[in-house]
Amino acid sequence: MAFIKKRYIWILLVIIVGLAAVLYESKNLIPDNTCTVQSGPFELALNIKGEVQGKNAVVINLPDVMKRRSLRIYQIKIKDMIPEGKLVKKGDWIATLDAADINQKIQNNQQELTRHLAEFNDAKIDSAIQLTKLREELQEFNYDLKYKELELEQAKYESPAYQRKKQVEYNKTIRQMEKKRRDYELTRLKLKTQIKRKEDDYNHDAEIDSLLKQALMACRVKAPKNGMVMYAKLWGGRKLRVGDQVSRWNPAIATLPDMSVLVSETYVKEIDITKISVGDSVEITIDALPNKKYSGIIDRIANIGQELPGFDTKVFKVIINMNEHGEEIKPAMTTNNKIILTKLENAVKIPRHCLFSDDGDTFVFLKTKGKIVKKRVTKGFENDTEIVIKSGLNVGDIILNSAPENRDQIKFIEN
């Protein structure tokens, strides 16, 4: 009886040790954190911030008269501006430009205008005096010619030698007369050219004076039509403000956007620009309107990148057409643009953290028949949370969320 009792004790100990071993193996080989391979919709998207703008807008530029090269107004400071977002009507005041430089140019030009007018009048007087003197000399030669002609006629009663002498004197007077006429014509043309130059100088200054006075009047910039005022942007993306300069090369002062057709203006990093194309669908939300969703498509992608503050790489300007519009949407509202790069309806997918790689192999830890094995897989598209599996797994397979402690001892299973 004691022997049988002792035998049962030994059997009980063996069972306890076996259970302990099984529990130990399950703790190391089969973690409780598993997930199931699923099939369902998969979406790969690019999320970027943007800003609401009107697709069509009237740009209020530096007045055209100030762009004239002859005025040499290279840049001009903004002295005052209407508050951004203000509704204006056609003809309302938008901005005031600093007229100090223009006033100085008017004063300097007035001095030149006075000087050239005096030179022009002096040239006309000098011309009249010189030409009058030459005409009088021609008249005197004309009298001499008639006198020589009379002497030549009377010499026919004298000796042949005397007749030749008078003929020579007559011919000489004719040559001198012709030379005087040529000199008169050349002097007249020369004086006419000088007068024309002086007149051109005066007319140029007069035109500049007129343009400068027009530019002075244009320093008060007015709205060309009804609309909401939005400040223009500088090269770096910063909005224009009082004290900034506008010029022929960067003439925009403000815009009056047409909010009947909306766009979201955004910038995409150069590393992502090849992922998107014109026509891609976009899901849009607006920070100020969190409960509403909008849709759109990419309309334009810039051909050349640019450097902007806030970005560590070059960015490309992207315009997204919004399909909806409404009075609640205002210019410059911040948008969240979700550009849909790829959309699959029934994709075999797993969480990103379930996929591992080692020595060029991409694999998962598969739970099959109570054991854990490594299973090679071929991955497809991936986003921030999920990875599409092209081959190697089936819907319903159980895989581990994290690698077990003895991962190096686990062998690969062939497909």
Query: Does the structure show a pLDDT above 70 at 15?
Result: no
- Name 132's Cβ contacts closer than 8 Å, sequence gap at least 6: none
Same domain for 138 and 36, yes or no, is: no
> Using an 8 Å Cβ cutoff, are 130 and 191 in contact?
yes
In a domain, 58, yes or no: no
> Tokens 């599996």 — which residue?
389
The answer for residues whose C-beta is within 8 angstroms of residue 89's C-beta and 6 or more apart is: 223, 226
Which tokens sit at 345? Answer: 């309806």
Residue 252 to residue 241: CA distance in whole angstroms: 12
Do residues 112 and 201 share a domain?
yes
Residues 106 and 213 in one domain: yes
Does residue 222 carry a pLDDT above 80? yes
Residue 89 lies in a domain: no
The reply to whether 377 falls in a domain is yes
Segment 235-258 shows an average pLDDT of: 89
- Quick check: is 139 in a domain? yes
Interval 80-110: pLDDT, tens = 999 998 889 999 999 999 999 999 999 999 9
In a domain, 393, yes or no: yes
- A 10 A CB-CB count for 91 gives 11
Q: 18 pLDDT exceeds 80?
A: no
207/113 same-domain check: yes
Element (H, E) at 315: strand 315-322
Residue 197 included in any domain: yes
Q: Cβ of 305: how many Cβ atoms within 10 Å?
A: 17
**Which CA distances in Å does 302 have to 58, 218, 308?**
21, 34, 14
Q: Each residue of 142-171: pLDDT tens digit? A: 888 888 888 878 888 788 888 888 888 888
Q: Poorest-confidence range of 202-211, 307-316, 319-328?
A: 307-316
Q: pLDDT, tens digit, for every residue of 273-290?
A: 998 999 999 999 999 998
34 with 130, same domain: the answer is no
**Is 14 a residue whose pLDDT tops 80?**
no
111 and 195 co-located in one domain: yes
Three-state DSSP class for 369?
coil
Distance CA 147, CA 145 (A): 5
Contacts of 290 (CB under 8 A, 6+ apart): none
At residue 29, the pLDDT reads 42
* Domain finish residue from 184, 217, 250: 217
Shortest CA distance to 130 belongs to which of 201, 174, 195? 195
**Residue 298: per-residue pLDDT:** 94
- Summarised one tens digit per residue, pLDDT across range 344-402 is 888 999 999 899 988 888 999 998 888 888 898 999 988 888 999 998 888 989 999 88
**pLDDT (tens digit, 9 = 90+) per residue, 330-342?**
888 999 999 988 8
Residue ending a domain, choose from 172, 198, 217: 217
| pLDDT (mean) for 316-338 | 90
Asked if residue 112 belongs to a domain, the reply is yes
Among the candidates 217, 246, 274, a domain finishes at 217
**CATH label of the domain that carries residue 355:** 2.40.420.20
Over the chain, what is the mean pLDDT?
87
Percent over 70 (pLDDT), the chain: 92
Q: Indicate if 200 and 104 belong to the same structural domain.
A: yes
Q: Which two tokens stand for residue 332?
A: 């410059």
Q: Which residues form the domain of 129?
A: 100-217
Domain for residue 388, yes or no? yes
Q: How many domains does the chain have?
A: 2
